[in-house]
Structure 1
Amino acid sequence: MHPSLPPSPPPSSSSRPALPVLPGRPTPRLLDQVRDRLRYMHYSLRTEQAYLYWVRFFIHFHGRRHPRELGPAEVEAFLSMLAAERRVSSATHNQALSALLFLYREVLGAELPWMQQIRRPSQARRLPSVLTRPEVHALLQAMPEPMRLVARLLYGTGMRLLEALRLRVKDVDFDRHVIVVREAKGNKDRVVMLPHSLAGELRAQIAHARVLWQLDHRQEQAGVDVPHALANKYPRVGQTWGWFWVFPAPALSTDPRSGVVRRHHLHEERLHRALKSGAGQTGLDKRVSAHTLRHSFATHLLQAGTDIRTVQELLGHSDVSTTMIYTHVLKVAAGGTASPLDSLVAA
């Protein structure tokens, strides 16, 4: 069982107020409070699942003691265990720390001095895996539909995988040949190009999606999931054609948050499997993932002379320094500097 939250102490001047409890209702369990707070602040389902995992792990690691009873020594002991025994990556380590900081700040209402003193591990900047143009072509040719279309969209626009799978019909503009990416990383919208070579296939995919939308409409199924409180303001907006998925799943599924049975978009695991199979068929020895197509998109644009600021906007990077990593990839790919060994052999 999850630990129960004891009565909240009066907030001090250095803490935020804890979540209120309605009179006459029992205090919810701690993990339920974490979940409610995450949803109130519109965190994604994946972040919710990850944070709940780390909070639960932290509590169990310290013998199911309540986090109010724990302090900096216990937090650092937990993080040290992850680094020394579990050997987690710096990204995973940072995620666990973020979950604990969210627990103390946003749920328990504690902004304590020691929370500012915990240092995050530095993340090494690794050069991304990038495919050559012939490798991209061979990989895409080896993939089955509709995953080939998704992969071509990723390489052709630089979108992240979930940005492509969550694409709505209303956000594809065939007249202007642009795609509007909604609620991307950092909750920002941006615009990317719609490759002319994909227009016909995308129209066919949307026509297929409309068949499923009409089927759901006739069967009076619940509409697709829509952002935040939009469904409260417009109860039937999720049933409109414009909000339907460009890449709908073939079958209905249960929404993990609301429990409503509705049509979701294609599951990302389908593309992962198709990429792995395609890489095996083409004999690629590089690491290939959905993000590899995004990396290849950026690198090939820069190779073609596209301005780095334009690439930054297309990728949705907040800082151009993030985009600069691809200039290092170009230096490696160019290989134009002669080694002194070559001149020695020639002599």
Structure 2
Amino acid sequence: MRCVSPMALIFMDKKHTRTPVESTMAYSHEFWENYSLFLLKQNVKKGVVSWYVLRTKQYIAEFPDEHIRTHTPHHVEQFLNKVGRESRLSPWQFGQVVDAIRILFSLALKLPWARDFDWEYWRESAKPLEVDHATVARDYSNVLDGLATLDGEERCSHELYQRYQPAIAEVVRAIRLKNYSIRTEQTYQLWVSRFFYFHKPDNVRDLNGQHVKHYLEYLALKRHVSVSTQKQALNALAFLFNQVWQKPLDDLDEFIGAKRQRKLPVVLSREEVRRVFQQLKGTHHLMAGLLYGGGLRLMECVTLRVLDVDFDYNQLHIRNAKGGKDRVVPLPERFKEALKEQLALVARLHQIDLRNGFGEVYLPEALSQKYQNAARELRWQYVFPASAVSVDPRTGLVRRHHLHETSLQKIIRRAVKQAGITKHATTHTFRHSFATHLLESGYDIRTVQELLGHSDVSTTMIYTHVLNTPGISVRSPADMI
């Protein structure tokens, strides 16, 4: 005989099974008091139990003509879609709604389908994108926002902020004319600002190579930055002098460089990848599978659109990636069915959004002007959409963006820990593992370079160093005794 939980029995009480009509009015005050005690036993904090009860009542009231035990995942999706369209609801409140319904079906009613429902995706993917997020910032942000609040010693006064505004805006204009990525724009903007605030010149055009040398040495000697960070600062300042001011930066002489540390990328073994995958489920499992199976960068994964998926050729099209390059990567056969189910979810979600006056997705300004109706077409929707719509703080438009990348990062960190892996593995580790495992399988370096989208094969060569590490190829003398 199937075991039924005490809470499920309460929902099946004779008083409640005389009619299929389920509403909050059918349950007595005593019932909800008992349910509150049940929530406390599920480690819901006492201060929010009343909110969990309220969320449960709201869900039940949404389907007054259907018995709660006949509900399916589509009922939950329908309700969460409706709640997700309430743009005034904060992400933590939406997460609370998801958690309340999860407890109802998974722990109280213990319905079989609730074990496999992707609660984690719905709870974690409601976070909206920030105004300065890389996928939307260029079209809406004031290029000088945030420059007055630099960290540490380089915090500037309002007077300096006003003084250097025109010069910094000039740098941003030059970057955009060259169509550099938004990440590069933000990085160069930051380093040029710090450079100005460090020297505090009355006229920035008075700065020269010796000022650059002094600043780079300050970064190495006082701030103890890494080689890559110092090089990043030099690239930004070289762009300022050479491209913006047309004033060649060629008189640096020798400057003290940051201490170079030779670091190899963190790579998971095939067994470790399997162990991490075992800790993941649903949408996050699929996303991790694409990161590893196609060698995708984090943002390439979260910004995939429906039109980028090609099931016939088992390919994913990565568009406008790092360096403005497009490329094609393999679609792992083992994740095809899961990806088809995800696209079916996207299609259902999009249809519901359209019926309720939403359904618009973000497109870069050039595309939105060229294809004015594209933003509401299914093919332009994100493969991994946020579970809630959000209001663009600049335009006031309500859109459904892609899920925030930090949700996947958080889940991967937790999965690595649960898998008992002590390596410092992140989402990018899957890309490193993809390249290393291809080389281990005999694929040539040029093929791997193309799949990763590297401009220079020397960048890809780092993975051959991983394979040729003496610790791997040399047999320990302890094993020869």
Shift of 1:220: 4.3
CA distance in 2, matches of 1:257, 1:327: 47
Instruction: Give me the whole-angstrom Cα distance separating, in 2, the residues matched to 1:162 and 1:314.
Output: 16
User: In 1, Cα distance between the equivalents of 2:190 and 2:393?
Assistant: 16
Partners of 1:256 and 1:189 in 2: CA distance:
30
Contact kept? 2:225, 2:258, Cα under 8 Å: no
Counterpart in 2 of 1:21? none
Partners of 2:220 and 2:258 within 8 A in 1: no
Preserved CA contact (<8 Å) 2:226 2:259:
no
Tell me if 1:112 matches 2:112.
no
1:277 aligns with 2:414: yes
Structure 2 residue aligned with 1:93: 230
Q: Does 1:323 align with 2:466?
A: no
**For 2:186, which of 49, 52, 61 is the aligned residue?**
49
CA deviations on 1:136-192 (whole Å, 9 max, x unpaired) are 111122134322211111111111111111111111011111111111222111111
| More helix, by proportion | 2
Alignment partner, residue 22 of structure 1: none
**1:279 and 1:337, CA in 2 relative to 1: closer, same or farther beyond 3 A?**
same
Aligned positions of 1:67-146 closer than 5 A? 67-107=204-244, 109-114=245-250, 125-146=262-283
- On the 8 A contact 1:165/1:268 being kept in 2, the answer is yes
RMSD (CA atoms): 2.8
TM-score calculated relative to the size of structure 2: 0.61
Q: Which residue identity does 2:429 align to in structure 1?
A: T
Superposition deviation, residue 333 in structure 1: 8.4
**For each residue in 1:28-70, what CA deviation from the matched residue of structure 2 results, as whole angstroms up to 9, or x when unmatched?**
7333333333333333322222222222211211125432121
Identify the match of residue 286 of structure 1 among 420, 423, 446. 423
* Structure 1 residues 39 and 251: CA distance shift in structure 2, 3 A: farther
2:437 corresponds to which residue?
Answer: 300
Is the Cα–Cα contact under 8 Å of residues 223 and 263 in structure 1 kept in the other structure? yes
Instruction: Return closer, same or farther for 1:93/1:254 CA change in 2, 3 Å cut-off.
Output: farther
Letter of the 2:181 partner, please give it.
Answer: S
Distance in 1 (alpha carbons) for counterparts of 2:199 and 2:211: 8
- Identify if the C-alpha distance between structure 1 residues 98 and 290 changes in structure 2 by more than 3 Å, giving closer, same or farther: same
**Counterpart contact for 1:151–1:290, Cα < 8 Å:** yes
Quote the offset at 1:261 in angstroms.
Answer: 4.5
- Cα 1:35–1:213 shift into 2, 3 Å: farther
Over 3 Å counting, the alpha-carbon distance change for 1:38 and 1:228 in structure 2 is farther
Name the counterpart of 2:177. Answer: 40
Partner Cα separation in structure 1 for residue 201 and residue 253 of structure 2 = 25
| CA pair 50-320 structure 1, distance change in 2 beyond 3 A | closer
For the 8 Å contact 1:237–1:243, the answer to whether it is kept is yes
The structure-2 alpha-carbon separation of the partners of 1:222 and 1:338, relative to structure 1 and needing over 3 Å to count, comes to closer
Please give the secondary structure, in 2, of the residue aligned with 1:114: coil
Q: What corresponds to 2:354 in structure 1? A: 217
Q: Which consecutive residues of structure 2, in runs of 5 or more, have no partner in the other structure?
A: 1-157
Whole-Å separation in 1 of the counterparts to 2:457 and 2:200? 45
Structure of higher CA gyration radius: 2
2:246 is aligned with what amino acid? A
Partner of 2:372: 235
Partner SS for 1:264: coil
Percentage identity across paired residues of the two chains: 45
Count of aligned residue pairs for this structure pair: 321
Distance 1:321 1:61, change over 3 A: closer
Match of residue 12 from structure 1:
none
Partner residue, 2:200: 63
Q: 2:449 aligns with which of 301, 305, 312?
A: 312
